[in-house]
């Protein structure tokens, strides 16, 4: 490739050069016209040197401020009021700076007697001319070219946008401005009474969401796009049900994220409706200020970082600008992918320096965990590492105790040793009145956290031994004053997490069925991963005395209903195209999971409660000894007996 091709082959570069050259010409012309208008078309030749000097100052100043406002990075096919404001601000700042320079140089021979009104006249012309240049492409796309394409292409799919707010407007603008697009936008629907009948880019708001079936029939709609990022799951579900009534099978949605309103909305943002959109709960209020106080500029360690909860937790923590984030996991492949994803996440974030460290380690390895704490000295620990699959732990109770209980104990006591400020453990609704080995082990983990918070733990279980005296006898052990604040967070199933029912159903549907449901009456609580992680972080902000936080998760969902909904989302009919079979409840499972008991009290945050487990006292040390002895003897039955006897 020649040097010329290397320089000019990129469209973005050529666009920048085009606008740069045009701006220089237009600014020079604006300055000249400023003089021409000021002197009623008759410029005295003595002003010619002044005009040249004026242009010589105005052009580079304006280009600099255009670059500061990033006007050369904007796609002017989608110009809006926001871009016009940026353009106006750049013009005002550049000509104001020019006025200040001319004031300083007022005694220079070139600028003696300079008419100040020329600055305002030239600035106005520059704003009009550079703005017209940038509007020209949009006028072309919206007018001549778009009408030509609409007239000659009868094969476009008629679509309807649900939501006539800012996101819907941006999406409509993108559809209208994109040449050769296969969509024909026929209208909007929105429940806001103030928007009924209003035209947005010439497209009418045709009615409310409840009128969807009628509007679909009238306009021969083939596809709908839901453009309501802040809509509640209930609203989305109602919209989907109405679309199904209208025989619309193609339903797409824009992501429900805050960021979508800050970026250019396009068709590439669209995705298919997912089960998370329909089952997601109404959002809870999160005190972000409280989270910032203990995360920002702190060193944070996440165990089990490559898991479903841990990985999203790492992303959420990064948003609060930690000084360092240590992601720890024992799974090599999962940690590899986490490293790739988080490094990409960091590059697109606001953080100047990469705060990430990735550590391959087992939480049960005392020496390795101690070295990690000694190296990084984390201020905050989020302990998400655990074995979580109920059927697997029924067959391996020794691993449940070793990893869940003693792993928690090891990380917790090491956090105490190195004076971490916070220790937040991820728990589960299966820890309430547990009937499974996994649930009972997590119940014990909660008790371990309470015990560590109250007593600091025993030196025999992870603290360094007391120093020996000159006589060879150990010195008395000083009383331990816990400096680390422990708490746990308990919640239900996370939608789409690894090994959960949602991805299992998806695979079964992809294979054509059958979809396997344990029992027709089985119910579970569900929440989205992001909400679970925010709750964990919120708990860390208010936890300081061994609390177990629980969430009012609303109504449980029937697993059978979930299976049927997922089959419909895949475009099939339940029990017709895809069969559903019942396999029976497995050992350790419940028909209904509990999330709260009678022993709860409210917190200052709505829907977040505290479960009081009581004081474990010296009994915990004896229990841990019994577990350790059973592990040494590899006595699985004894381990099960100990777990189930300590579940309350």
Active site residue 430: yes
- Dig out the tokens for 530 from the structure: 């992001």
Greatest CA separation found in the chain? 108
| Residue 392 contacts residue 314 (beta carbons within 8 Å) | no
The pair phi, psi for residue 303, each rounded to 5°, is: -90, 155
Cis bond upstream, residue 18 (ω within 30): no
For 351-372, b/e burial (b = at least 16 CB within 10 A) is: beeebbbbbebebbebebbbeb
In 3-state terms, what secondary structure has residue 501? helix
| Residue 519 contacts residue 582 (beta carbons within 8 Å) | yes
> How do beta strands 203-207 and 199-200 pair?
antiparallel
Give the whole-angstrom CA distance, residue 323 versus residue 98: 42
Give the whole-angstrom CA distance, residue 328 versus residue 407: 13
Q: For the chain, first and last CA: distance in Å?
A: 74
- Dig out the tokens for 605 from the structure: 């945050």
How far, in Å, are 65, 263, 409, 450 from residue 479 at the CA level?
Answer: 65, 56, 19, 18
Q: Which ranges of 456-578 does DSSP label H, i.e. alpha helix?
A: 501-510, 529-542, 559-569
At a CB cut-off of 8 Å and minimum separation 6, what does 1 contact?
9
Give the whole-angstrom CA distance, residue 32 versus residue 438: 80
Looking at 324, 417, 422, 430, which residue is catalytic?
430
What's 269's DSSP letter?
G
Give the whole-angstrom CA distance, residue 386 versus residue 583: 27
Please list the residues that pair with 548 across neighbouring strands: 488, 611
- Closest by alpha carbon to 216, among 159, 264, 260, 287? 159
Give the whole-angstrom CA distance, residue 232 versus residue 283: 8
- Dig out the tokens for 487 from the structure: 């708490």
Neighbours of 112 (CB within 10 A): 10
Length in residues, the chain: 648
Give the whole-angstrom CA distance, residue 522 versus residue 591: 5
How far, in Å, are 184, 227, 238, 481 from residue 220 at the CA level?
Answer: 11, 20, 21, 72
Structure-token match 């103030």, residue found: 194
Burial class (CB in 10 A: 0-12, 13-18, 19+), 549: buried
How far, in Å, are 188, 262, 283, 594 from residue 585 at the CA level?
Answer: 47, 47, 32, 17
What's 618's DSSP letter?
T
Residues catalogued as catalytic? 430
């Amino acid at each position: 490739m020649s040097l010329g091709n290397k320089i000019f082959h990129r469209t973005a570069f050529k666009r920048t050069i085009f606008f740069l050259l045009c701006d220089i010409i237009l600014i020079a012309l604006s300055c000249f016209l400023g003089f021409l208008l000021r002197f009623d078309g008759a410029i005295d030749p003595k002003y010619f040197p002044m005009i040249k000097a004026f242009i010589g100052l105005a052009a580079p100043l304006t280009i600099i401020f255009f670059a500061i406002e990033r006007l050369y990075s904007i796609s002017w096919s989608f110009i809006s009021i926001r871009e016009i404001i940026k353009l106006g601000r750049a013009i005002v700042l550049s000509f104001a700076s020019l006025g200040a320079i001319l004031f300083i140089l007022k005694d220079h021979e070139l600028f003696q007697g300079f008419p100040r009104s020329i600055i305002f006249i030239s600035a106005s012309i520059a704003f009009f001319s550079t703005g017209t240049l940038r509007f020209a492409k949009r006028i072309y796309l919206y007018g001549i070219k778009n009408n030509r394409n609409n007239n000659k292409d009868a094969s476009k799919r008629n679509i309807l946008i649900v939501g006539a707010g800012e996101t819907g407007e941006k999406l409509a603008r993108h559809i209208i401005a994109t040449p050769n697009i296969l969509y024909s936008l026929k209208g909007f629907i929105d429940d806001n009474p103030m928007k009924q009948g209003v035209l947005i880019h010439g497209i009418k708001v045709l009615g409310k969401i409840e009128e969807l079936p009628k509007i679909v029939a009238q306009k021969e709609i083939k596809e709908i796009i839901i453009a309501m990022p802040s809509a509640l799951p209930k609203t989305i579900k109602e919209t989907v049900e109405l679309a199904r009534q209208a025989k619309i099978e193609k339903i797409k949605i824009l992501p429900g994220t805050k960021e979508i309103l800050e970026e250019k909305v396009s068709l590439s943002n669209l995705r298919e409706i997912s089960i998370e959109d329909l089952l997601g709960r109404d959002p809870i209020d999160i005190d972000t200020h409280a989270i910032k106080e203990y995360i920002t500029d702190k060193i944070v360690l996440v165990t089990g970082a490559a898991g479903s909860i841990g990985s999203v937790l790492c992303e959420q923590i990064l948003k609060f600008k930690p000084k360092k984030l240590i992601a720890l996991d024992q799974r090599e492949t999962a940690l590899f992918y986490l490293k790739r994803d988080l490094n990409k996440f960091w590059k697109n974030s606001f953080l100047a320096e990469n705060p990430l460290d990735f550590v391959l380690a087992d939480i049960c390895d005392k020496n390795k965990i101690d070295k990690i704490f000694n190296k990084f000295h984390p201020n905050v620990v989020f302990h998400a590492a655990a074995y979580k699959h109920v059927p697997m732990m029924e067959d391996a109770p020794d691993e449940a105790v070793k990893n869940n209980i003693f792993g928690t104990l090891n990380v917790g006591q090491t956090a105490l040793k190195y004076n971490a400020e916070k220790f937040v453990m991820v728990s589960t609704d299966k820890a309430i009145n547990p009937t499974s080995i996994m649930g009972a082990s997590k119940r014990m983990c909660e008790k371990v956290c309470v015990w560590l918070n109250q007593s600091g733990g025993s030196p025999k279980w992870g603290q360094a031994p007391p120093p020996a005296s000159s006589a060879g006898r150990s010195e008395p052990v000083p009383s331990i004053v816990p400096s680390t604040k422990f708490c746990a967070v308990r919640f239900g199933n996370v939608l789409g997490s690894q090994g959960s029912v949602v991805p299992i159903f998806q695979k079964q549907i992809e294979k054509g069925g059958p979809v396997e449901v344990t029992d027709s009456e089985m119910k579970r609580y569900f929440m989205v991963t992001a909400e679970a992680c925010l709750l964990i972080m919120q708990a860390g902000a208010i936890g300081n005395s061994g609390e177990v936080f629980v969430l009012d998760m609303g109504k449980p969902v029937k697993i059978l209903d979930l299976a049927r909904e997922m089959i419909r989302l895949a475009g099939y009919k339940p029990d017709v195209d895809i069969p559903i079979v019942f396999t029976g409840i497995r050992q350790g499972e419940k028909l209904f999971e509990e999330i709260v008991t009678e022993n709860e009290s409210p917190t200052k945050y709505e829907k977040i409660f505290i479960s009081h487990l009581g004081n474990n006292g010296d009994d915990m040390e004896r229990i841990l000894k019994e577990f350790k002895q059973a592990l040494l003897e590899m006595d699985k039955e004894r381990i099960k007996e100990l777990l189930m006897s300590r579940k309350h």
